[in-house]
Chains A and B, each alone.
Chain A
Amino acid sequence: MLFFSYFKELVGKEVTVELKNDLAIRGTLHSVDQYLNIKLENTRVVDQDKYPHMLSVRNCFIRGSVVRYVQLPPDGVDIDILHDATRREARGA
């Protein structure tokens, strides 16, 4: 559940989601659920010319299982807090 909680902290931030089919989408993180499904708002596709069918998609739901990377804003992670939480989770607390 650590990454679920972590992504919930990032709601409202601008992220780029790269999918396993190489499609990369940038948008504002609207919400995330326990499967790490992601909803983005104000989306734009990074390589617009290659994916013309995505032109009028403004909001989207991405299935967690197809995500390869989520690129975060530089200030999107407090390493110390994440580090502590990781150890706490590993201990099973």
Chain B
Amino acid sequence: MSGAGLEDVFLSTSLASYLDKKLLVLLRDGRKLLGILRSFDQFANAVLEGACERVIVGDLYCDILLGLYVIRGENVVLIGELDLEKEELPARMISVSAAEIKRAQKAERDATDLKGSMRKRMEFLDLD
């Protein structure tokens, strides 16, 4: 890497141009982590400083502080650079406490479970 000039860093596909920037990392399980990229390698293993998880349920959201995180590359879907000029989320979204978002998450999960069990009971009707 010592031979690479500054231009090469910005032209290449490596994450070098994202170092020390605030990023959004999408994981394979659907989680969204935000933090500052401090290190990475060719597998997209990454170190995030000041990481937090952004939990979104409908129009509610909460950032849960996690600290220093090492993410194993295979779990990474996408790493996005956040445009600091732009709003991170639509204006309609409301920030709530961790307890509240957990409650909303549980309610959403229960609703999906209920839908699943209803569907199962109706399976004999051969819908869809």
B residues contacting A by CB (< 8 A) are 11-15, 18, 24, 26, 28, 30, 32, 42, 44, 54, 56, 73-74, 76-84, 86-90, 93
Known contacts A52-B93, A55-B88, A56-B82; A38 and B77 CB within 8 A of each other = no
**Contact sample, A vs B, 22 pairs, CB 8 Å cutoff:** A23-B78, A32-B13, A33-B14, A37-B13, A39-B13, A53-B24, A53-B32, A53-B89, A54-B24, A56-B82, A56-B89, A57-B24, A59-B80, A59-B81, A60-B78, A61-B13, A61-B15, A61-B18, A61-B80, A63-B77, A63-B78, A66-B78
Contact between A56 and B86, CB atoms less than 8 A apart: yes
A65 to B54, CA, bound (A): 24
**With A55-B87, A56-B88 given, can you name 4 additional A-B contacts, CB distance below 8 Å?**
A23-B77, A43-B80, A57-B24, A60-B80
Which listed residue (B13, B81, B89) contacts A33, Cβ 8 A? B13
Chain B contacts for A62, CB-based, 8 A = 77-78
A residues contacting B by CB (< 8 A) are 19, 21, 23, 25, 30-33, 35, 37-39, 43, 52-63, 65-66
A17 to B79, CA, bound (A): 14
- Rounded to whole Å, the gap between the CB of B28 and the closest CB of chain A is 7
Q: Which residue of A lies closest to B76 (CB)?
A: A63
- Rounded to whole Å, the gap between the CB of B64 and the closest CB of chain A is 14
Contact between A57 and B81, CB atoms less than 8 A apart: yes
- Rounded to whole Å, the gap between the CB of B72 and the closest CB of chain A is 12
Chain A contacts for B84, CB-based, 8 A = 56
Chain B contacts for A54, CB-based, 8 A = 24, 80
